[in-house]
Structure formats: C-alpha cells, structure tokens
Structure 1
C-alpha cells in the first residue's frame, strides 16, 4: 500500500478478515444460555437465537436461485429482524432490509430491482399484490434446523441497502462481509464491549445504523434491546435508563434533543452519534460521545472523533478507523493543502464495489485507483471537508444538492421527479428549509381550478410513492419559480416557507371520538385548540409530525393507523369519521382499554 504525504489519511491496519456470523456463532456455542435479545415481553437466549435462525434458514434455502441471491426482509426492528438477518447469512445469501412502513409502490420497486428470491415478513399482506416473489412468514411454526453448511466468505455480499437517487429511483449499495466485520471489530475493541453490555436498537431497519446497533453487541456476547415503539424523545431517556443501556447509537438530531433533558443515564458508558451534522456543541455529559462519519457506500462509518469541551470547529469527524483511507481532493483529483476545503474521498476494505447492478453509475462515483495510483475502489462522497492541523477531518457539508435531515440522506431530484408527475403540479423544487424539507410548487397549467393548489391531495399521492422522510414537511405554491439570467432557479429569491394561517372557521369537536382525536392533534402540533375542519398541514403539520401523530393516536385509540390514511384525512372531522366507519365507537373503546391494559402489564414486567 502506497502511503501519501499525509500520514493521517491512513487508518490502522485492517483486522484479520472474518465475518459477523462467525463472530456471533462463537457466543451461541460458548454461552448458549446468556440473553441475546430482550424486549418487554420476551428474552431470547443465544441458543434460542441460534435455533430460530437455523430453522428459518431451512425454510429459506429452497427459494434461493442465481449467483448472487438476495432475500428481502420486510420487518420492523426486533427479534424477528435479527433472526432473519442471521438466517439469510446461514443460507449463503445476502439480505436487503425494507421499511414495512414504505408505500406499496416503493416496496414493489425494491423487490423488483433486487430480483429478490424471497421476502421474509411477519405480515404477508404488506407484500404488494401481484409481486412475483416467494413469501416466507417469519411467524410460522419453526421446522427442523438447517444443516450447518458453510459460513459466508469475507468478500461475499452481506446486505444491500438502498439510498435516495438523483433520477427519482433509489439505488442499492451492496456491502461485503469483510467491511462489516471490520466496523464491528473496531466498535467492540474501541469501546470494550463484552457480555455484560446492553445495547439499544433504535434505528429504522432501512438505515445502516441498524447494523451498527445490532452486530457489535451480539459479536461481543452482549444483550440487544430493540425499541419496539416510535421513538419519542421524552420517553426515550426513561427507556434507556430503565433498560440499563450501556452502549447506544443515536442519530445526531435525536441526541441533541436528548441533551436538552435531565437524563443522567447512569449506566451508559458510550454514546455514538452520526448521520447528520451537529448544530451545536455538546453540553458537559457524564458519558463519552463519539461523532461518526461515513456514507452507506463505505459500510456505515469511515472516521470517528470523541467530542470534547475544547473550543474549535463543531463538526470534527476525526480520523479514519482501521482499514480505511480518507483523502480530501480538488476537482482535478489532487490533494488540497491542510486547512483548505475539498471533496472527501474514501478507500479501504469497507468501500462497496459499486452500486447494485448499475455499472454506469458505479463508474461515476467509484474510482478504480486512489490518488497515488493504488488499487481502489475509492468512493467520491460529494461531501466537503478539510484536514485540520492536528490531522482530524472537519465535515463542511455537501458539494451537490443532497440534503441530510434527521439522519436521512435525501436527493431532492427523487422527490422533484415524483412531484412533477402529479396532475396538479407543473414545476417543483425541493430543498431544506432549516430542519424541514420544503417543496416549492407551481400549479399545472391544465389542473382543475377547483383542485388548484391542493396541498393535502398532492402530499397524499406522494406519500403513496415515497417513504415519509421524503415527503416535504411544508409546501409553498408559487405562480412561477424565480429564475436567474441563465435560466436556473434562483433559490435566493424563494420565499421563506413560514407556516400558513388556516382559513377555516373554528368549529369545536363534538362527540367523544372527535374530542380525543382533536386533543392528540393539539398535543402533537403544540397548539391550544384544533377545530374539526382545520387542516393538519395548514396548522404547521409536516410529514414527520404525522409519524408522531400516528404513534400518539394508535396509543390513544388502540387501533392500527396506516400513514396513508392520515394523509387522506387531514381534518379532525374527516379522520374521526373514517375511524368510526372502520370500527364502531364501542369497539374503539374496548380496544383502547385493551391497549392500556397491555401497556400496564408491560410496565409491571419492566
């Protein structure tokens, strides 16, 4: 390996090639009775994890085909998700996690793009109708375990994760076992993880942080604690403390919100943060905090930095982890001097070989050699950064239009493509507006004037195509997009997307159901009162607040609520009417009482 002029570009030597399933298998054999996964209603030992993964692998194996078989996992975080990941590896194939809350159209696209051999799910009805893929119900009775077989090779594909795409279609990133094992080994060694540790599982399954939460814990023989409910900050601190969590990863915005609360977390030994830039300096904390940086294409993380109270840049992301090389280059591919900004490039064992079945796009983003002519691939991140005099890397944002909000990488082009296809939209531009995703829309010239500028209708259709984090939180309608002399959108002239005042006259709720729904709306929106004809989005609601609303309503009423229904019924009156049609009021009351009883039992078990 050629070493460039900056010694700090190169992390320590990589660890001996291995795989995560081999690391976990050791604890299944040596500590079978130790707890591996704990939820409010069950504790799964390493022996039980091993047995259930082997049994599921036996059911999966007949469905495998092709040279690079991939199994889709349509599961929420929890024991079944971990079991399914291990089962896929034990059959010799890769897996691809898909968020079950994704719209049916997106799930169908991902299954088709993967050419998935099978989809593992706990709810077969979540699989879009007409999808030509075998369905394996993870909740079905276990059969005999699969033969031991061979563990996957370090250079085999471990999983495929999808990220937002500039052309309107998400792109898959295949990650190899060796890269994942390198990250897991570093985390275990760096933070001294062992059998006594308890780690949280909070990330969305489609986010690579879910792998960071799961595998270091189980590779060290610790106990994983999946958080089964939507993550709400005030309750999160209590949950971490009650669970005795010693090691946790939080998306940076979530961590910053947690730091505003009186949450001592006495057992927490290490907190990892990442997926978004820090917006402020961390306060003094009783536990160490490490800021991680790395795109999905580089196996979760490439650099790490322990935060301190020393004055200096806020978004220092540290030095390369073992097996990783980081370069800051100019537009010609040459190194920039220390202190000067450039584009961050990453090489090493964690870099993906390219995008899933997209050779042309892979050639654009993955270089065959590093700046010294050494072997690649080297990934062009599109991130700006600079080396500081002490050899640490400072993150300076994006070079292109890609947005990072609340831990998600968002390509505005993907959202704009979908919006422009809407019958009410003639032109669209999407960008970040502070902590929110904003869409500027121009009505379609042929749109029905009665439906002109119908924000709720546009967002409802968009929510049927894209995950919630890609649905704009605020919409501004314009007669036309302002342009520069060269014909490009002049973003400096776009109006600030402030909240729109509602034009509906206040009508108080009537009946128990409307009053309960209105009370939840007011709590989520942070307002004193909500009229039954007030539009959720006109009151300052957003797609992300809608997720909080769904969680609060499900807890209040004890009924499942698809996110699509909330997009379709954007007033208290409309939603209450829909709920009443779905379930009689007496049934809603019974479900509410049953839900509260389940919560009380779970609290007693804790």
Structure 2
C-alpha cells in the first residue's frame, strides 16, 4: 500500500517542484503530466451488449462463486441472478419496462445491488437516492426524473412495488448499449437537484477500462463497496466487480475513515478498493497486507 500511495503522489511532487522553480508570472505554464488517454475510446466489443447482459451472463457462467459478501452472509452469483429475476418479474407485472425510470432508495446493502440488476433486466433505468434525504427532497428528485415507481424506502406520491414471489423464470435483458442505465440527482446546492443520465455503453466501457487498468481479476479478489448508493461511484464498484465474476464486499455499517475503515479493510481482507483521497491520510501505510489495488479519486462521497 505504501508503494501505491507513493506512486500516486509523484505527479503532485513534480507539479510542486515545477512551481518552486518558476517565476510568479510563469506558473501558468508549468508542464503537465503526460496524457495517457486522448478523447473517447472506441471499443467495438461493447456494441450489442448492455452491462446488465454482461452481469447476467456472469451469473450463469459462475453460479457457485460468491457475488456479494454481507454481514448477514453470502450470495452466490446464481442466488443473485435468481433474486434479480424475481424482482424484475414483479417490475414487469407492475408495468415497468423499457424507457421507464425506477427510484431506488436504499442504504448500502445487498438489496440495493439486487434492485439495480432487476431494474436493468426489466429494461428500465434506475435512479439511486439516499434514504437519509428529507421527504420533500426525495419527492422532488423523483418527480423531476419522472420516476414511475419506487423500490426501498417509500416516497410520498410515488407508487411502490407490490408483493413479489421468491422465484421467477429468468428475465432476458432487453437493453441496448445506447439505452439509459441510470440517472443521478445532483445535490441541488446551486438550486433544485438536476438529473445526470448515463447509458449502458458508458458503464460497459468503465468495466472494460478498469479491467485493462487492473488486469484480469483472480478468483480470490475481494472488492469493497465503499461509496453510498446515492453516488454513482457505487456503480463503479459494482459493475466492474460483477462483470468479472469476483466478490463484492458490502458492509452494512458505513466505514467512512479512520479505525472503522481500517477494521473493514483488514477483517474482510480487501484486495481492491476505490477510496476518496480524504480518507487515505488516517490509514497506516503497510497495514493492509491483502490490499493489491487502491484507486483514489474524487473528494468525498
């Protein structure tokens, strides 16, 4: 871990060295670090497949592998697929289908992951929202997104999913790469919350890009779901993990930083994690012998 953190700091050291040696009027002309990606990347292999279809195929090909590890136990890929099918079938019976948006109001949990996959299998898009938000904020966000239904915590004025059976026949994913996968509501700090939408193609490219960066993920890989579901950083943990057929660790208790996060990383023997820079400082370098890949992006979420 110490090596990873040192490597991450090198570009900043270079920038600071450049600034120290520059005249005050020349600081705007410091040399940037080499650019590694130039514009949109073409990937013909993603055409014709949605991210939901990729995960469904993994559920079929690796049925006994552990997909989700929670405080209540494990879900295999077969069990994850079956639960997603049951929820998707209930969504279809409720009239949800292609082009619809379903609001997901969950804390970090296995139920959230199941709900995401179910919405995709029904052909719809999901709108993750935080159950900690005030009722009026949730209602406004769901209204602006034109959400047809709510899973998780009910939202006043929006229908919830009726009772569903525990088992259902497999539901075939009908999404195309250009179909909407999810929307994220902004905080509304500059006014009312705004909706940002992402297509399946973008998530598929994300999964392939992370695989290219990290390399093939071995069967012992354990990825931490750190981000709250209301932030799309959560999907950047979920999608690459499940499309690669490895284990996603879903802690019930938030471990935002310091000792709680240290306990989660060590007890679960996390091998891969995506963490905001703000939570790295309290961590002890070298204290995580199982950690193989640490990606630090963003501020807080």
TM-score by length of 1: 0.41
Q: Does the Cα contact within 8 Å between 1:64 and 1:117 map onto a contact in 2?
A: no
- Candidates 3, 6, 9, aligned match of 2:38: 9
* 1:221 pairs with one of 235, 245, 255: 245
Q: Is the 8 A contact 1:194 1:221 kept in 2?
A: no
Aligned-residue offset at 1:9? 3.1
* Residues 109/196 of structure 1: CA separation in 2 closer, same or farther (3 Å cut): same
Q: Quick one: structure 1 residues 178 and 12, their matched pair in 2 at CA, closer, same or farther if it must change by over 3 Å?
A: closer
Q: Following TM superposition, by how much is the alpha carbon of 1:171 offset from its aligned partner in structure 2, in angstroms?
A: 0.5
Does residue 23 (structure 1) correspond to residue 46 (structure 2)? The answer is no
1:86 to 2:117 alignment: yes
Higher strand share: 1
1:120 to 126, 147, 151: 151
2:181 is aligned with 1:158 = yes
In the other structure, the counterpart of 1:255 is 280
Q: Is the 8 A contact 1:71 1:116 kept in 2?
A: yes
Structure 2 CA distance for partners of 1:241 and 1:226, relative to 1, 3 Å? same
- Which residue is equivalent to 2:294? 271
Cα root mean square deviation, aligned: 2.2
Residue deviations 1:441-475 (CA, integer Å, cap 9, x gap): xxxxxxxxxxxxxxxxxxxxxxxxxxxxxxxxxxx
Q: TM-score, normalised by structure 2?
A: 0.81
1:58 counterpart residue number = 89
Task: Quote how far apart the aligned CAs of 1:167 are.
Answer: 4.6
Change (3 A) 1:8 1:145: closer
Q: Give the Å deviation of 1:141.
A: 5.9
Deviation string, structure 1 residues 137-174 (Cα, Å, up to 9, x no partner):
7xx66344155334310000000011134651010111
For CA contacts below 8 A with separation 6 or more, give which structure has more relative contact order.
2
Q: Distance in 1 between matches of 2:214 and 2:196?
A: 28
Give the 5 Å matches for 1:163-562: 163-165=186-188, 167-192=190-215, 193-231=217-255, 232-258=257-283, 261=284, 264-276=287-299, 406-407=300-301
The answer to whether 1:149 aligns with 2:172 is: yes
Instruction: Check whether the contact 1:200–1:247 (CA below 8 A) recurs between aligned residues.
Output: yes
- Structure 2 unaligned blocks of 5 or more: 1-34
CA distance in structure 2 between the aligned counterparts of 1:22 and 1:67, rounded to whole angstroms: 15
Residue deviations 1:93-131, cap 9 Å, x none? Answer: 00010111111111111121122111011xxxx4244x1
Higher mean C-alpha displacement, 8-17 vs 160-169:
8-17
**Aligned equivalents of 2:72 and 2:189: distance in 1?**
42
Q: How far does the alpha carbon of each residue in 1:227-252 deviate from its partner, in whole angstroms, 9 at most, with x for none?
A: 21122421211211111111101111
**How far apart in 2 are the matches of 1:11 and 1:155?**
15
1:357-404: CA deviations, max 9, x gaps? xxxxxxxxxxxxxxxxxxxxxxxxxxxxxxxxxxxxxxxxxxxxxxxx
1:34 equivalent in structure 2: 65
Please identify the structure whose Cα radius of gyration is greater: 1
Q: Measured at CA, do residues 94 and 12 of structure 1 come closer, stay the same or move farther in structure 2, by a change above 3 Å?
A: closer
**How far apart are residue 37 of structure 1 and its match?**
0.3
Instruction: Find out whether 1:75 has 2:75 as its counterpart.
Output: no
Quote the Cα distance in structure 2 between the aligned partners of 1:89 and 1:203.
Answer: 20
What is the rounded CA distance, in whole Å, between the counterparts of 1:46 and 1:178 in structure 2?
23
